[in-house]
Amino acid sequence: MTTAAFPLLPFSAVRERLVAREETALLDVREEDPFAQEHPLWAANLPLSKIEIEAWRRIPRRDTFIVLYGAHDGVDLAPLAARTFAALGYTNVHLLEGGLEGWRAAGGELFRDVNVPSKSFGELVEHERHTPSLSAPEVKALVEAKANVVVLDARRFDEYQTMSIPSATSVPGAELVLRVRELAPDPATQVIVNCAGRTRSIIGTQSLVNAGIPNPVAALRNGTIGWKLAGQVLDHGADRQAPAAVSDAHRAQAEADARRVADKAGVRRIPLDALQTLEAPGRTVYRFDVRTPEEYTAGHLPGFASAPGGQLVQETDHQVPVRGARIVLADDDGVRASMSASWLAQMGWEVYVPDTAPSASAFTETVAPSPAYPPVAATVGEIAPKALAELLKQPGTAVLDVTTSANYVKRHIPGAWYVIRAQLAGAIDAVIPASQRYVLTCGSSLLARYAAADLRTLLDARGQRDVEVLVLAGGNTAWFAAGQEAETGETRLATARTDRYRRPYEGTDAPAEAMQAYLDWEYGLVAQLGRDGTHHFKVI
């Protein structure tokens, strides 16, 4: 199939679809770091490297209206991505005319960072609702004075453990309204909500305000970034979590509050046994269980994926890349789904929750829906870890690791080259020495199989059929499970580590300049929303 088979769509046509809320998947097929440097508001990142392992899950309807763009080092990746989507059965694939530069030249607004729809929405919420906040020194003074105050960290538990406000308890965003009364039963207790930066603390604080809890509530202004910029010390490795049990009285009150907020936001309710009626022709439906991952694993509704509510609101562009799709949220308490849905509805999504929370008997599945993957284009042989270890004792074998760069740096096969799959040809030509044998690997060798097929096709086209291409059976997991040696660090980078954008609030070593620049960027998002004009946000 040639590029000519895919129609070009100008900026104006894409914008019209977004304004009309017609289902559209605007996809940036670059790696995450270049995507994060600049992209349209509603663009979702789906790298060319990972289309086969992500597309069917993230874009479930094969006739979805798809628009692709993305270039790397002067090479337009979108046509190849379009051919890949077509090979996977997608029938409505388009190319953005002029790519990102065409968007810019036509006057389209471009945004920086990741999860921009959610972050810009959070800024709009604070702008319109004047969400209460306290500065880092003010919160520190309250904590040190042992005042009547509780600090609730609305991030994922692993983020909280990396660094947290002294005395803070981990209460991920969707859990706040359900559990706050267990942690602050005295209505005079000051409740502080924090995250790493701004969005989740704003949304978490405003959730409690919207729900009408009697306590005074405030966001920690600028989160852990603000704490560090104030020269204050964070905790590391904390493990305080909200009690698992919630009293019947507190649950009933939280459910009533959440339902009221959801109704005001325009959340739609539907009987659980009528969910199939949402799957009309031309409509994409995403189903998410917004409870904790542990609860999901213990039992969930058939066909529902795990997406804890706070993170779903934070990362909607990743979880729901089809703008205009329908979303169904479920829980077992009538609180978390309604509160999460209230935010998605304000962000312009058509969102549903069951009219009554499902009973325990409905949560019959205990394993996540098994993902389906397309067949590999070319047949490539396997090699076991022990056999590869023997080969590596002699010259002639190169190991190419297409895992994430973070995993590569953490641990990899000694001598292995890190390479991004979509940049494999350039790496073979310019960086990786010519070899008589290439062995492809990743965490499980799932992605490595597709990369190996790419390499086999490339070598055959060049007449190098005598060069052997293999896949490590079981990938790096099998290698280390077999007790083989490991190497760490950026020992052999055949491509730059652009597969992931490092967030300025990530980790414990971010420079103050980067953190302040990130905050300054967030402050400017409301103005960008106004210039863009496609968001459909409506804050209640």
491-503 pLDDT, tens per residue? Answer: 999 999 999 998 7
Helix, strand, coil percentages (3-state) for the chain, rounded to 5, are 40, 15, 40
Residues 387 and 340 in one domain: no
Residues 127 and 229 in one domain: yes
> How much is the pLDDT for 4?
61
> How much is the pLDDT for 441?
98
In the listed set 457, 481, 505, which residue is the last one of a domain according to the structure?
481
Q: What is the pTM of this model?
A: 0.94
Structure confidence by residue, pLDDT tens digits, 173-203:
999 999 999 999 999 999 999 999 999 999 9
> How much is the pLDDT for 395?
94
Question: How far apart, in whole angstroms, are the C-alpha atoms of residue 254 and residue 180?
Answer: 9
Place of tokens 């949220």: 329
Question: How far apart, in whole angstroms, are the C-alpha atoms of residue 131 and residue 474?
Answer: 50
Domain assignment present for residue 305? The answer is yes
Query: Order of strands across the sheet with 381-383?
Result: 381-383, 468-472, 437-441, 397-401, 417-418
Give the mean pLDDT of the chain: 95
> How much is the pLDDT for 512?
82
How does strand 305-306 pair with strand 350-354? Answer: unpaired
Among candidate residues 540, 366, 539, 537, the one with its CA nearest the CA of residue 21: 537
Q: Total structural domains in the chain?
A: 4
How does strand 381-383 pair with strand 326-330? Answer: unpaired
Residues of the chain with pLDDT under 70: 1-4, 505-509
Instruction: Say if CB 354 and CB 330 are below 8 A apart.
Output: yes
Range(s) of the domain holding residue 308: 262-362
Backbone phi, psi, residue 396, to 5°: 110, -10
> How much is the pLDDT for 127?
96
Domain assignment present for residue 508? The answer is no
Spatial CB neighbours of 55, under 8 Å, sequence gap ≥ 6: 46, 85, 88, 90
Residues 93 and 125 in one domain: no
Structure confidence by residue, pLDDT tens digits, 71-127:
988 899 999 999 999 999 999 999 999 999 999 999 999 999 999 999 999 999 999
Please tell me the number of Cα atoms within 13 Å of 47 on its side-chain side: 20
Which residue spans within 283-392 are E strands per DSSP?
285-289, 305-306, 326-330, 350-354, 381-383
Residues 228 and 292 in one domain: no
CATH of residue 215's domain is 3.40.250.10
